[in-house]
Amino acid sequence: MKVLIFGSKGMLGSDLMSVFKEYDPVGYDKDELDILDEISVNAKLDELSPDVVINATGFTAVDDAESKEGFEQAMKLNGLAVGFLADACNRRGVTLVHFSTDYVFDGRKKGDYRETDDGNPINRYGESKFLGEQLLTQKARNFYLVRTSWLFGKHGKNFVTTMLELARRGESLKVVNDQVGKPTWTMDLAESVLTLLIEARPFGVYHIVNEEAVSWYDFALEIFEAAGVKADTRPIGSEEARRAARRPRNSVLANTKFPPLRSHKEALQNYLSTL
């Protein structure tokens, strides 16, 4: 299996490179290859003739996407680039793995979001990711669209390290308690993608997340307990947080097509042991 990974130095991409190491993956990050450069990307596909392309790139600054400039960049990276990449892979018969987010949903559903639920984003970041989903499904046949949520990993800034850093500085923390989702370790996600490919699971949409839903506030408490850190932490509502982008209150993804992953609490313990 010849594997090409875009976004290879990011939080998820780094773990993908590690998990796929026995296949000698070729990886490119944004400073090495601009995924918006169609000519260069097509040239790499022709040069390497991969069996699988994994797209771990993307604009991830949710609040920045609310600005005009940020939204334009998000739509290019999370939307239009995905469509062009899907078309390029489809013409060559290459399997494409692409990642999306719980933020394509509006958070108003009473139960968990299933793979078949329609997207209805409430912020501009979600709009850009939803556009990428639509273009992928329109232009590609052999694809895995993997939705995931609340990622934490060793190779990038994330909620876990942010909470620990603030706590160790002795700051009083206010964390929202009315947004619920499933925290997911990038290493577990990367290993699941390898399983998808090795087992040749049917193409389509998958929700791959560590199990057990939790609020951001309760997750923060779990982090402090697991790390043995004391922190002055107070729950607040979304309105008090005053973020530029609205967040869905319910971000819980139901995994109905793939073997359930372990608890996020167990994954968190493993992750902390790597820091």
Structure confidence by residue, pLDDT tens digits, 181-191:
999 999 999 99
Tell me the average pLDDT across 6-18: 98
pLDDT at 238: 96
CA distances from 199 to 97, 167, 192 (A): 14, 42, 10
Single-letter code of the amino acid located at 100: S
Percentage of the chain modeled with pLDDT above 90 = 99
Reading the block at residue 92, the tokens are 């060559």
The CATH-assigned architecture of domain 3-158+182-211+252-261 is 3-Layer(aba) Sandwich (3.40)
Beta bridge partners of 253: 113
Q: Which two tokens stand for residue 163?
A: 């909470």
Single out the catalytic residue among 103, 113, 125, 217. Answer: 125
Residue 151: CA count within 13 A, CB half-sphere: 26
> 155-179, pLDDT tens digit by residue?
999 999 999 999 999 989 999 999 9
Proportion of the chain above pLDDT 70, given as a percent:
100
| pLDDT for 195 | 98
What are the sequence ranges of the domains in the chain? 3-158+182-211+252-261
**Catalytic status, residue 125:** yes
Mean pLDDT for all residues in the chain: 97
Query: What are the phi and psi torsion angles at 180 (to 5°)?
Result: -125, 135
Output the CA angle 187-266-151, nearest 5 degrees: 40
Residue 18 pLDDT level (bands cut at 50, 70, 90): very high
Tally Cβ neighbours within 10 Å of residue 239: 9
Q: Could you report the per-residue pLDDT of 97-154, keeping only the tens digit for each?
A: 999 999 999 999 999 999 999 999 999 999 999 999 999 999 999 999 999 999 999 9
Residue 257 tokens read as 């097509």
Q: What share of the chain is helix, strand, coil (3-state, %, to 5)?
A: 45, 20, 40
The pLDDT value recorded for residue 142 is 98
pTM of the predicted model as reported, rounded to 2 decimal places: 0.97
- How far is CA 45 from its chain centroid? 24
What's the confidence (pLDDT) of residue 147? 98
Please compute the mean of the pLDDT values over residues 205-229 and round it to a whole number.
98
